[in-house]
Amino acid sequence: MFNLILFGPPGCGKGTQSDKLVEKYGLVHLSTGNLLRQEIKDKTPLGLEAKSFIDKGQLVPDEVVIGMVDSYFDQHKEAKGFLFDGFPRTVAQAKALDKLLELKKTEIGKVLILSVDEEELIKRLVLRGKTSGRSDDADENVQRNRQAVYKKETLPVADYYTKSKKVGTVDGMGDIEAIFERLSSQIDKKIKQ
């Protein structure tokens, strides 16, 4: 089983590249946002617990999120591997994920960080905001704040995985296909080891 974390700041192209990587490598796309919405929709015990936090405007605790990831793994026992998108967001979540994967007799194979110049990220997000009709996306100050939050809260996860020599940085600037080729090259090297 090959498990991949695709990592990077808002606007770096994770969603676009995730779809292409899932298709090429036959991975199961694991998006915690999608999982939360599905668990709530299905009214599972975890979904109801998550909803109670969301309804109060609180973040869903790590234990609940990890419980949903565990359940999702059990539903996809035959998977070739998973592509984690939007998770883990904190070092505590990364440690919990490692423990869960150890119980499942697997591990994170590679963490790939899409590196994009911050001014390019702001430009992409503001443009996306104008075309999506979401006024908050079109607000440059909101986008600068999102980048700051990413650096403060999520970037430490990359440092956590760097210690285990699993991290690769990929230039996320340029054309979608060129970026995809750079990502694929790193994944192919890891799979062949």
> 128-155 pLDDT, tens per residue?
888 876 666 678 888 888 888 888 888 8
Check: CB of residue 113 under 8 Å from CB of residue 167.
yes
> What average pLDDT does range 176-183 have in this prediction?
98
Query: What is d(CA 99, CA 94) in angstroms, rounded to the nearest whole number?
Result: 9
In sequence order, what are the residues at sequence separation of 6 or more whose Cβ sits closer than 8 angstroms to the Cβ of residue 115? 8, 12, 169, 170, 171, 172, 173
In sequence order, what are the residues at sequence separation of 6 or more whose Cβ sits closer than 8 angstroms to the Cβ of residue 10? 121, 125, 143, 146, 147, 150
Spell out the domains of the chain, with CATH numbers in brackets.
3-188 (3.40.50.300)
Query: What is d(CA 46, CA 118) in angstroms, rounded to the nearest whole number?
Result: 36
Query: What is d(CA 159, CA 191) in angstroms, rounded to the nearest whole number?
Result: 22
pLDDT of residue 18: 94
In sequence order, what are the residues at sequence separation of 6 or more whose Cβ sits closer than 8 angstroms to the Cβ of residue 138? 126, 129, 130
pLDDT of residue 134: 62
Q: In one letter, which amino acid is 125?
A: L
Supply the residues annotated as catalytic. 14, 89, 128, 134, 146
pLDDT of residue 98: 95
pTM: predicted TM-score of the whole model, two decimal places: 0.85
